[in-house]
Amino acid sequence: MQPVLHVEGLWVDYFTRGRRLRVVQDVSFAIERGEMLGLAGESGSGKSTVALAVARLLRPENAAVGGMVRLNGTDFLALVGEGLRQTRWKSVALVSQSAMNALNPVINIFRQFDDMLTAHGYTDAVQNRHRAAELLDLVDLPEQVLNRFPHQLSGGMKQRVVIALALALHPDLIIMDEPTTALDVIVEREILSKVKTLQRQLGFSVLFITHDLDLLLRLTDRVAIMYAGQLVETGPVGHFSRSLHPYSRALVQSFPSLHQHASDRRRGIPGAPPDLSHPPAGCRFHPRCVFVADVCQTAPAWEAVSEDPLIAVRCSRWKEIRDEFVSTVD
Amino acid sequence: MAPSPSPSGRRNGSGAVPPRCEGRGLPSHAMKYLLRRVLFYLVAFWATITLNFFLPRLMPGNPAEALMSKFGGRLNPLALHAIAIAFGLNVHESLWTQYGQYLVQVMHGNLGTSLTFYPASVFSVIAAALPWTLGLVGLSTVISFALGIGIGALSAWRHGGRFDTFMSTFFTFTYAFPYFWIALTFLYVVGFLWGALPLSGAYTTGLIPGLSWSFVLNVLRHGILPAFTIVFTSLGYWAVNMRNTMITTLSEDYVVMAEAKGLTLRQILIGYAGRNAILPNITGFAMSLGFIVAGAILTEIVFSYPGIGYLLFQAVQQEDYPLIQGILLIVAFAVLAANFVADLMYSLLDPRVTIGESQ
């Protein structure tokens, strides 16, 4: 069965002050029907750019996008104009970063459902009201919310409204870009469990983007980790207790766990992410890597470790790292 | 480490609607808001009248002396005294008595008698000039605002593009020109050299004002050149301002969301980006609506247009104190009224305004 989303060799260039800056390079991944893929990385690693590129929301005057993005087998990057507009939201919906600001402040909630439904050919206002009320019910909000303006809702309610909006046209894929960053942990947990329930009910796929790796490991089916514009490792959630890339290992170790003594010190990753206008030669992580060797001066390839389940890594020394794991475990 | 969703989920905190007031309509809190604004503007208007009364009296000299120096050599003191009484320039009463009389007179719409247009009252002189100014300056301000907002919004949508680059350069250019130079140049080239449009006035002298087609056409022909120069020089201001607020608005999450939702370009540009970007420009527009009444003094002088601006110019030249005061009062009233209209427009366009006030 073909994946809902298939991204191959995706790259993105930003145009800044007359220069062209490659912020995403050689990103490949796929999401199966009903699957939730988590994309993690530090700020500036390019994870949100991947989301915007996949959703075709980068403006041509600001950015160039290349590679392949297939949604249900159709080439999404090749769509333009009216064809693109009509495909939006039906194939891929977006729950954007800080849903606080994702709703138009000057029109009420119903009109934010209605304008989208109208744009996709559903012009009967009475039916649209019905549909919007059903969608709100899916996320446990009462129908009266339709008459409210965004500033009259709490942060959690706004986020639920945005999720209800995303579900409206039964999209195959929902991209969630740090959907709960601005919410407190209790509301966050409520909303994420709601998303999981809805996903089981309705069968859509999710690309979930966050810097919170710990959250991804509890929530998603598979995880991909980004560093300096490239994917460095992907695999099922369970794989990351024995991850093969030094960066992913360091990232996993930098999150505290609840069952741990407070005296155990968390280890940060020394150094800072590279300046993308002058990325380090060879492996982009090598200046900060504890496993660095001469071989790291040449750029490592994106290499599949296993096909089913898919595990891939971008490190020239992943075999040695795996063997070290085996020896320490034994 | 499997995720642990709780499908039943408790409907608490974030699920309940806070019992806040309903958005729009005209319930009691909106009326309260409106009344508060009206009260504020009444107080502001009273302050204006008071200032208008005291300011000329704080200046050295007084209208009576100015009048005397004007006719000094030719009239005997008794005649001068008679004139001073006739014009209300008798300064022997106390300031407070005069102030009280002034307030009563203004309330009755009596702004005194014009010295320049004696024996016409200030009120009737202003009433004759006002329609010309409202028509010319009002229409060109509205046209300029509407065009500027449209051009600014389009420039911002593809900012950095060819249309935007051309418009930005062009408007910086037109905005930097001194108005009188533009007006005189157009007057000279189009009116004098080319002779395509009339040189001055609001209609051909000798024509009897009325609602006939020939008169209306005549007025329009006289209005084109002054209106064009006003639009030409003020358009840039609106376009550049709208462009800048629009660029900020376009990067808002809700505009990105609107595009992701697959809305049409029209829906995004008008309903999402434009609707929000126009809000900061409403204040500026209301201010300029208020100043319409002041007339475009330079325009009316250059084109000898019989509006309020030209009237003020004449009044100042003739030291016609009652007329100057009358015009200032009308202008102040118009500015306050325009601000009130802006308040109302805000509460219509931005649901956050009235509700924010009522809490």
Domains assigned to chain B: 122-358 (1.10.3720.10)
CA–CA dist A132, B279 (Å, integer)? 28
Residue of A nearest to B23 (CA): A148
Interface test mutation site (partner A, options B261, B276, B348, max chain A beta carbons within 10 A) = B261
Contact A87 B262 (CB under 8 A): yes
Amino acid in position A271: G
Residue of B nearest to A109 (CA): B23
Interface test mutation site (partner B, options A190, A216, A222, max chain B beta carbons within 10 A) = A190
pLDDT of the residue at B204: 80
Cβ–Cβ pairs < 8 A, chains A and B: 143
pLDDT of the residue at A215: 86
Contact A116 B23 (CB under 8 A): no
**Phi and psi, residue A123, nearest 5°:** -100, -5
Do residues B351 and B148 touch, judged by C-beta distance below 8 A?
A: no
Contact B262 A119 (CB under 8 A): yes
Nearest-CA distance from A13 to chain B in Å?
Answer: 17
Average pLDDT value for residue range A137-155 = 93
Residues in chain B within 8 Å Cβ distance of A116: 261-263
Q: Which has the closest alpha carbon to A164: A112, A124, A216?
A: A112
Contact B262 A165 (CB under 8 A): no
CB atoms within 10 A of CB A293: 12
CB-closest option in B13, B253, B275 to A101 = B253
CA–CA dist A66, A75 (Å, integer)? 12
**Phi and psi, residue A289, nearest 5°:** -90, 140
pLDDT of the residue at A89: 94
| Token output for A328 | 């320490």
Q: What percent of chain B is predicted at pLDDT more than 90? A: 23
pLDDT of the residue at B32: 78
pLDDT of the residue at A62: 86
CA–CA dist B257, B255 (Å, integer)? 5
Q: What percent of chain A is predicted at pLDDT more than 90? A: 60
pLDDT band at A135 (very low <50, low <70, confident <90, very high): very high
pLDDT of the residue at B88: 63
CB-closest option in A90, A94, A142 to B17 = A142
Residues 6+ apart with CB under 8 A from A169: A89, A90, A93, A116, A120
CA–CA dist B189, B176 (Å, integer)? 20
CB atoms within 10 A of CB B278: 23
Q: In DSSP terms, which residues pair with A207 in a beta bridge?
A: A37, A175
pLDDT of the residue at B259: 93
pLDDT along chain B (359 residues), means of 10: 40 42 54 83 91 78 66 69 67 79 85 80 91 90 94 88 88 84 89 83 78 84 90 91 93 91 93 92 85 81 90 86 88 88 82 57
Nearest-CA distance from B142 to chain A in Å?
Answer: 24
Exposure string of A115-124, with b = 16+ CB inside 10 Å and e = fewer, is bbbbbbebee
pLDDT of the residue at B67: 66
Residue of B nearest to A144 (CA): B17
CB-closest option in A85, A197, A217 to B7 = A197
Interface test mutation site (partner B, options A149, A184, A187, A237, max chain B beta carbons within 10 A) = A149
Contact A148 B23 (CB under 8 A): yes
Contact A86 B262 (CB under 8 A): yes
Contact A193 B7 (CB under 8 A): yes
Give the residue with greater pLDDT, A94 vs B11.
A94
Instruction: State the greatest distance between any 2 C-alpha atoms of chain A, in Å, as a whole number.
Output: 68
Residue of B nearest to A241 (CA): B1
Q: Read off the pTM.
A: 0.79
Residue A212, burial from CB neighbour count under 10 angstroms (0-12, 13-18, 19+): middle
Contact A104 B4 (CB under 8 A): no
Least confident of A63-77, A261-275, B126-140: A261-275
Q: Cα dist. B182→B179, B188, B222 in Å?
A: 5, 10, 17
Contact A119 B267 (CB under 8 A): yes
Residues in chain B within 8 Å Cβ distance of A149: 23, 351-352, 355
Contact A94 B260 (CB under 8 A): yes
Q: Reply yes or no on whether the pLDDT at A159 is more than 60.
A: yes
Residues in chain B within 8 Å Cβ distance of A192: 3, 5
Nearest-CA distance from A188 to chain B in Å?
Answer: 10
Pairing relation of β-strands A311-313 and A303-306? antiparallel
